[in-house]
Structures are given as C-alpha cells and as structure tokens.
C-alpha cells in the first residue's frame, strides 16, 4: 500500500526558538540611525532659527560622535556574532548604548533641548520590549541619567541650577524604573511564550513513545533531501523497516513490554547510523531511515549492520529477541520523486517479508532478490 506523504507534510516550516536574523537586526539599527539623523536635523533647524547656538567645533564633535557610535555599531553587526552574541544575543544593548551616548552629546551641544532629549529616552526603551529585562533597562537608564548630568555639567548653561537638574535626573531615573519593571514582565512573558512554542514544536515533530522524529518531521527531511539531490546531484537511500511478528511479541509479553521494545529499537537504530542520517518512527512497529550520500551498495551494508544488530539484541526484561525486515530505495538510481521512492521502498519491504523476513531487499533488484 502506498503511503500518503503529502498528508504528513508539516505545517510548521521552522520549529524551535531562534534569534532575530542579521537582516532584522540591520533593519532595527537602520531605524535607530534614521531616528538619530532626524534628531540632528532638528538641531540644525533649531540652530537656523536661533533657538540654540551651536559653534563649528560643537558641530564637528556632534558629527564625529554620530559617526563613531553608529559606525561602530554597524561594524560590530557586520563583524560577526562571535563579537557580541555572548552578551547581547539580540543586538539591542549596543545600539541602545550608542543612543544614550548620542543623546547625552545632544544635551551638551544644545542644553536648551535637554527636556526633549529626556522625553525621547522612553521611546528607546519601547524598542527593547521583550528583549531587555529589568536589570538591563535600569543599567541603560542609569547610563542615560549619568550622561545627562555630565553633559549639563560640561555645558554649564547660565540659566541652569545644578540642584534642579539633580532633582530632575532623580525623577527621570525613578520614572523609568517603572518602565523597567514593565519591560521585565514583557521579557518574562516572551520567554515563556517562546518556551511554549518550542515545546509545541517538539510535540508536533517527535514520536512520544520512542523520542524519535515522527512521520511529519521525517517527511520534511526526506523531501528536502530529494530536492537537494535533484538540484546539486549526489545520492541517498531510503530504508523502510518493520519489526517481524511484533503482534505475537505483544500478545506473549504484553503491550508495555512491546512499548519498551520499540523504545530500545529506536535507540539501536540511532546508535548504528551517522549523525547526518535520519531515523524516524512512522507508526506502530514501522520505522524509516534516511542514509545521506549512500548509494545502493553502501546502503545495503548499513542496512545489514542494522538488521544484524537488532537480531543479536535481547530486549528488556523479557529476554526475548526480535528481527526486522528492511526495504531500500535509492535516489536517483531507483526514482527521483518522494512518492515513488517511498512506494518502491515499501514494495521492497513487502518482498522482504514475503521471502521469510529478517532480511533486506533493494528496490533496484528486478525480481526482489534477497541481499542476505
């Protein structure tokens, strides 16, 4: 009987938890750069209408600081994950530190706009939602507060009273503590949601009895390998494996013992295959193996090793043994499409059972000759 591979195709294309990709980080950093460019444009406009007076030296310092901080962040992003992934996996701290430095510089060059600068900071924290916890938000706000006070002290505008600025800084820091609390809760919720999604993906792709990949996961890997061989060449072999007389084993020892035997069989199969190969439980006592890069001759040797290992194994506390029959179909030698490959492997498996079980049959053999 031909199995319906399309019915097993997974509806989730990329399970598990993953960080934002580089392009997403680039877009985020570009957005931050655009925001700072707008801020510089505002300074230019305010200087043009004589609301602030910015000297040539201050303009040089401002543009140098912008280029150094934003350019440094871009260089770190392009230089590779090894330089920042360990302490800033989502690449949010580096741009936030750059923004804090630049906002402090804006306070120094145009102290008249310092209150506007403080209003901008909560907007920066919004972009950290889900990625920065309470401690990170507090440290960044402390950096911004210290930078603000330092910039005011360096600028020394005549109308500014230090004690008032100190009070304003305390209020600013305290207010942002509440924002940090909210950020911490959002991050915890995000992590909990990510963990739930990962567990859901694991349940969707894993056989609950053996812990092996299930039919859904195997089908995705199988079809991907078919596409790879069609596109780039090479070969692989599909093996369909079935326990011989498993119903009789269950009837004799009970279903719990049968479940234990299936779990042990899964372990045996994984131990005998390479890391690049795949093994999955298709259902019941039927398993599938995908031998990447294996031509028919190599696959036959691997399958024989699997068959012999299972036949020599004593299962659980029953002290009994089991054997397996295996059908093989190779790509591109036997077929080039997923459905036909699976059909041929299936027919080879039935031929192995018809010839006495505990043996291997390859689809390429015209009369399903026994390989043992």
| CA–CA dist 196, 323 (Å, integer) | 39
Q: Is 57 helix (H, G, I), strand (E, B) or coil?
A: helix
User: Looking at 58, 220, 223, 285, which residue is catalytic?
Assistant: 285
Sequence-separated (6 or more) residues with CB below 8 Å from residue 300: 328, 360, 362, 371
| CA–CA dist 201, 204 (Å, integer) | 5
Please report where in the chains the tokens 């960044």 appear, as a residue: 140
Give Dmax over CA atoms of the chain in angstroms: 100
Output the six-digit token pair for 16.
């598990």
| CA–CA dist 70, 26 (Å, integer) | 12
Q: What number of other Cβ atoms are within 10 A of residue 108's Cβ?
A: 20
The answer to whether the beta carbons of residues 257 and 50 sit under 8 Å apart is no
Q: Annotated catalytic, 285?
A: yes
Output the six-digit token pair for 180.
């940090």
Write the DSSP assignment of 219-285 as a string of letters: HHHHHHHHHHHHHH---EEEEEEEETTHHHHHHHH-HHHHHHHHHHHHHHHHHHS-TTSEEEEEETT
Residues forming the active site? 285
């Amino acid at each position: 009987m031909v199995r319906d591979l399309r019915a097993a195709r997974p509806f989730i294309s990329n399970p598990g938890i993953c960080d934002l990709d580089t392009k997403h980080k680039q877009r985020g950093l570009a957005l931050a750069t655009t925001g700072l460019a707008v801020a510089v444009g505002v300074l230019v406009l305010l200087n043009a209408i004589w609301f602030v007076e910015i000297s040539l030296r201050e303009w040089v310092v401002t543009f140098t600081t912008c280029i150094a901080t934003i350019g440094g962040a871009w260089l770190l992003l392009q230089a590779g994950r090894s330089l920042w992934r360990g302490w800033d996996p989502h690449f949010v701290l580096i741009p936030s530190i750059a923004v804090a430095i630049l906002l402090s510089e804006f306070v120094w060059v145009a102290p008249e706009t310092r209150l506007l600068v403080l209003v901008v900071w909560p907007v920066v924290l919004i972009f950290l939602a889900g990625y920065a916890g309470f401690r990170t938000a507090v440290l960044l706000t402390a950096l911004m507060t210290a930078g603000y006070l330092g910039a005011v002290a360096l600028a020394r505008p005549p109308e500014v009273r230090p004690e008032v600025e100190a009070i304003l800084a305390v209020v600013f820091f305290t207010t942002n503590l509440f924002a940090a609390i909210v950020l911490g809760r959002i991050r915890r919720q995000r992590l909990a949601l990510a963990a739930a999604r990962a567990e859901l993906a694991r349940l969707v792709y894993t056989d609950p009895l053996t812990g092996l990949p299930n039919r859904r996961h195997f089908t995705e890997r199988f079809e991907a390998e078919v596409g790879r061989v069609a596109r780039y060449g090479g070969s692989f072999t599909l093996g369909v494996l079935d326990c011989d007389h498993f119903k009789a084993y269950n009837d004799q020892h009970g279903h719990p013992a049968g479940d234990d035997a299936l779990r042990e069989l899964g372990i045996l199969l994984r131990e005998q295959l390479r890391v690049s190969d795949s093994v999955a439980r298709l259902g019941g006592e039927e398993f599938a193996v995908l031998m990447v890069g294996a031509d028919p001759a190599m696959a036959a040797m691997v399958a024989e090793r699997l068959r012999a290992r299972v036949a020599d194994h004593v299962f659980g506390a029953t002290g009994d043994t089991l054997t397996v029959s295996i059908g093989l179909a190779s790509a591109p030698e036997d077929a080039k499409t997923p459905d036909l490959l699976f059909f041929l492997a299936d027919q080879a498996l039935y031929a192995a059972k018809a010839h006495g079980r505990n043996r291997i049959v390859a689809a390429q053999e015209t009369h399903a000759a026994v390989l043992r």
